[in-house]
C-alpha cells in the first residue's frame, strides 16, 4: 500500500464566505491522516495554481487575507509543514499511459483522470474540501470502464474518501491495513527469506525473482511489493492493474520468447502477461495457474522486436 493520499481537485473552488472554515477543516483532516500513516498528499498540479475561489488562484487568495494566523497556516501548508505535497498525481517516470492503461473512469457521467481515478489506481484515500454536499461522504462512486479482450467491462466502484475528520471513522479497516503493512517491513534484504510468510496464499515467486529483486531501486521495489501485497490480500485482482500480453512477434521469436521463460516446479514456462503499473518502464510478469499467481520477473521492460 502507498503512504500518500490523493487530492480531489473537483472539490475546488470553495465559497469565499466560509473559506477560512473550509481550510480549517481541510488542514485538520490532513493532520489526522498524517497521524494514521498517510504522510503525503499527491495533487494533479502545484496547489498554488488551483483556483481556490472562482477565478482566484492560491497566490491571489493568499494576498487577499488579512487574518495573520490564517495567512501563516496557508503558508505553512504550502511549505509542507502539515503534510508533504507531491505533484503531479502520476509522475513522469510512472507514465500516465501505463497507470491508466486499459481503464477509464467516470464521475457523474463525466470522464475523469484526476484524484478520484488515481485513488483507485493507487488503492488509497482521496481527500476533498468540504465545499459541497456531494463531498460530505466517506465513499465516492465511480464508473470504471475496463477494456478486456476488445470488450468494455463496466463496473461501479466505491473509493475511500474524506472531506471531514469524522469520515475517517469509516475507514478503520483501511488504516489497519496500512499499519499491518508497515509491521511487515518488507525490504530487498529480507524479501526472499520471508516470501512465503508474507505471500502465503495467492502469490508464488519463481526462483529467478531472488536475483531480480536485488537489482531494483527502492521506489520500484516498494511499488512492486505494494501491488503484489494488494493482490495477496485480495484488495485487488492482478488484472485490476494496467496489464497486457505479449505480441505474436514476441511469441514467434525464439530469442525474445526465451527471455520470458521462468521456472515453475523445475520446468521452464512461458510468461506472456505483464503488469505495466510500475515507474520507469518496469514490468511484473505473471502467470495464473490452478488458483496461484506465479511471478516470474520484476525488472526493466524486456526486449521486443522493435528493440532489435
pLDDT digits (tens, 9 = 90+) for 11-44: 999 999 999 999 999 999 999 999 998 999 999 9
Question: Would the pLDDT of 97 be above 50?
Answer: no
Angle at 172 between CA 24 and CA 11, to 5 degrees: 35
pLDDT digits (tens, 9 = 90+) for 222-278: 889 989 999 999 988 898 888 888 888 888 899 999 999 999 999 999 999 999 888
Q: Percent of the chain beyond pLDDT 70?
A: 94
Per-residue DSSP letters for 133-167? GGGSSSEEEEEEEEEETTEEEEEEEEEEEESSGGG
Q: How high is the mean pLDDT of the chain?
A: 90
Asked if the peptide bond before residue 166 counts as cis, ω within 30 degrees of 0, the response is: no
Of the candidates 19, 181, 3, the residue with the CA atom closest to the CA atom of residue 11: 19
In 3-state terms, the chain is what percent helix, strand and coil (to 5)? 40, 25, 35
Angle at 300 between CA 298 and CA 306, to 5 degrees: 130
Distance of CA 92 to the CA centre of its chain: 14
Give the lowest-confidence range in 51-55, 172-176, 302-306. 302-306
pLDDT at 75: 94
Contacts of 308 (CB under 8 A, 6+ apart): none
Which alpha helices (DSSP H) does 36-111 contain, by range?
58-64, 68-78, 96-100
Contacts of 226 (CB under 8 A, 6+ apart): 1, 2, 181
Higher pLDDT, 305 or 104: 104
Distance CA 12, CA 54 (A): 8
pLDDT digits (tens, 9 = 90+) for 107-117: 999 999 999 99
Distance CA 29, CA 81 (A): 14
Amino acid at each position: 500500500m502507498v503512504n500518500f493520499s490523493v487530492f480531489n481537485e473537483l472539490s475546488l473552488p470553495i465559497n469565499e464566505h466560509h473559506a477560512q472554515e473550509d481550510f480549517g477543516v481541510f488542514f485538520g483532516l490532513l493532520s489526522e491522516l498524517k497521524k494514521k500513516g498517510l504522510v503525503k498528499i499527491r495533487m494533479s498540479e502545484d496547489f498554488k495554481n488551483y483556483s481556490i475561489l472562482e477565478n482566484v488562484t492560491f497566490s491571489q487568495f493568499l494576498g487577499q487575507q488579512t487574518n495573520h494566523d490564517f495567512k501563516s497556516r496557508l503558508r505553512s501548508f504550502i511549505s509542507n509543514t502539515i503534510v508533504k505535497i507531491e505533484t503531479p498525481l502520476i509522475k513522469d517516470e510512472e507514465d500516465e499511459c501505463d497507470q491508466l492503461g486499459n481503464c477509464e473512469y467516470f464521475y457523474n457521467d463525466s470522464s475523469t483522470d484526476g484524484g478520484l481515478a488515481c485513488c483507485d489506481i493507487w488503492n488509497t484515500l482521496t481527500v476533498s474540501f468540504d465545499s459541497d454536499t456531494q463531498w460530505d461522504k466517506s465513499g465516492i462512486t465511480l464508473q470504471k470502464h475496463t477494456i478486456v479482450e476488445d470488450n468494455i467491462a463496466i463496473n461501479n466502484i466505491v473509493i475511500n474518501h474524506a472531506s471531514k475528520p469524522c469520515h475517517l471513522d469509516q475507514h478503520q479497516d483501511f488504516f489497519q491495513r496500512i499499519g499491518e503493512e508497515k509491521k511487515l517491513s518488507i525490504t530487498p534484504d529480507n524479501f526472499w527469506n520471508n516470501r512465503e510468510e508474507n505471500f502465503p496464499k495467492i502469490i508464488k515467486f519463481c526462483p529467478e525473482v531472488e536475483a531480480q529483486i536485488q537489482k531494483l531501486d527502492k521506489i520500484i521495489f516498494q511499488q512492486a511489493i505494494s501491488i503484489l501485497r494488494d493482490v495477496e490480500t485480495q484488495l485487488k485482482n492482478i488484472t485490476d492493474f494496467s496489464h497486457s500480453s505479449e505480441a505474436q512477434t514476441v511469441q514467434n521469436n525464439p530469442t525474445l520468447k526465451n527471455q520470458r521463460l521462468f521456472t515453475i516446479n523445475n520446468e521452464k514456462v512461458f510468461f506472456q502477461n505483464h503488469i505495466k503499473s510500475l515507474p520507469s518502464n518496469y514490468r511484473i510478469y505473471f502467470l495464473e495457474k490452478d488458483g496461484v499467481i506465479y511471478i516470474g520477473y520484476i525488472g526493466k521492460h524486456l526486449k521486443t522486436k522493435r528493440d532489435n
